[in-house]
Amino acid sequence: MSQTKQPITVQTVIDRLISPAGEPKANTVDTLKSGNPNAEVSTIAVMFMTTYAGIKQAVEAGADLIITHEPTFYNHMDDPSSLAGDPVYERKRALIEESGIAIFRLHDYVHEYKPDGILLGMLKQLEWESYADERDMHVLNVPEGERQTVGSIMNHLKSKLGIDSVLAAGGLDLPVSRFALSPGAPGFGKHVNFIRNYDADLLIAGETNEWETNEYVRDAIDMGFAKALLVIGHQKSEESGMLTVTEQLREAFPGIEVTFVDSETAMRRV
């Protein structure tokens, strides 16, 4: 007698995504934002952020489950309490409810993979895996004999990530022997750690608070320290990291269709 094939449910996929990080956490933003954990899954859409357009695209493509890195309802906790009755919120909620699609946020767990799944995906996309420092893979060492400057690294970022322009502090001709890639918005403490404790010549940040990291680097440069900062935007600094999750799901569930939904950035430079 052949074994009964177990259906793959939303919860099966969630369990698989949590497992590389260890046990499920009590306090996490990584929760099911909509849908039924027992629903069967045949198509998964992976995306950086559940924008209205992204959800619509996933629904139209027949996806049962979305895996998103960032929130759906405009705040880190996806707390809708201040948004009840808001026309934008209500329309997004209606689209989700009417479609019945399940949305799971994969933020905290994927950053706790060893190595950090988002960072690993970014390093792959940027072809920088071999640069990674043993102590911390955010720190990248330029191999001896290879010449890099802030400008050459910036051009590489633009080309590999499809970025039109970035914010810069420091000279583009500054030679770089060690730099750091800090996806997302981990805050000033993490940023300054790369510059000071790892002595990175250049920090590449996703998103900063202007009065924190930006001003620290401005002062450092004005004091004569040979430092530079590139701020490339939150989405561009993490989106390609979700390709790791896409690959992971394809390997784990070969019978399920897994698509990656990328998107334009919310804002353009004019």
Sheet holding 65-70, edge to edge: 32-34, 102-105, 65-70, 43-49, 257-261
Residue with tokens 């995504």: 17
CB-CB contact of 198 with 175 (8 Å)? no
What is the pattern of x (binds a second copy, CB under 8 A) and - over residues 41-60? Answer: --------x-xxx-------
User: How far, CA to CA in Å, does 94 sit from each of 5, 41, 97, 99, 263?
Assistant: 34, 21, 5, 8, 22
- Any known ligand binding at 234? yes
Residue 182: φ, ψ to 5°? -120, 85
Please tell me whether residue 136 binds a second copy under the rule CB under 8 A. no
**Closer residue to a second copy in complex, CB, 178/250:** 178
Minimum CB distance to a second copy, residue 72 (Å): 9
Nearest to residue 121, comparing CAs of 269, 267, 242? 242
Please tell me whether residue 75 binds a second copy under the rule CB under 8 A. yes
**Closer residue to a second copy in complex, CB, 9/214:** 214
Query: Using the 8-state DSSP alphabet, how is residue 132 labeled?
Result: B
What sections of 72-214 are H helices per DSSP? 87-99, 108-112, 117-125, 150-161, 188-192
- Any known ligand binding at 238? yes
Length reported for the chain: 270
Considering only the stretches 14-22, 59-67, 68-76, 248-256, report the one whose residues sit in contact with a second copy under the rule CB under 8 A: 68-76
Residue with tokens 């401005």: 218
Please tell me whether residue 134 binds a second copy under the rule CB under 8 A. no
Considering only the stretches 22-30, 35-43, 244-252, 261-269, report the one whose residues sit in contact with a second copy under the rule CB under 8 A: 261-269
Residue with tokens 């009417």: 98
Nearest to residue 173, comparing CAs of 155, 157, 200, 192? 155
**Closer residue to a second copy in complex, CB, 174/252:** 174
Minimum CB distance to a second copy, residue 52 (Å): 4
Considering only the stretches 3-11, 36-44, 233-241, 243-251, report the one whose residues sit in contact with a second copy under the rule CB under 8 A: 233-241
Binding-site annotation, residues = 69, 234, 238
Where do contacts with a second copy occur on this chain (CB under 8 A)? 49, 51-53, 70-71, 74-76, 82, 86-88, 91-92, 154, 165-169, 172, 185, 188-189, 192, 196, 207, 209-220, 222-223, 225, 229, 231, 233-235, 266-270
Binding-site annotation, residues for a divalent metal cation = 69, 234, 238
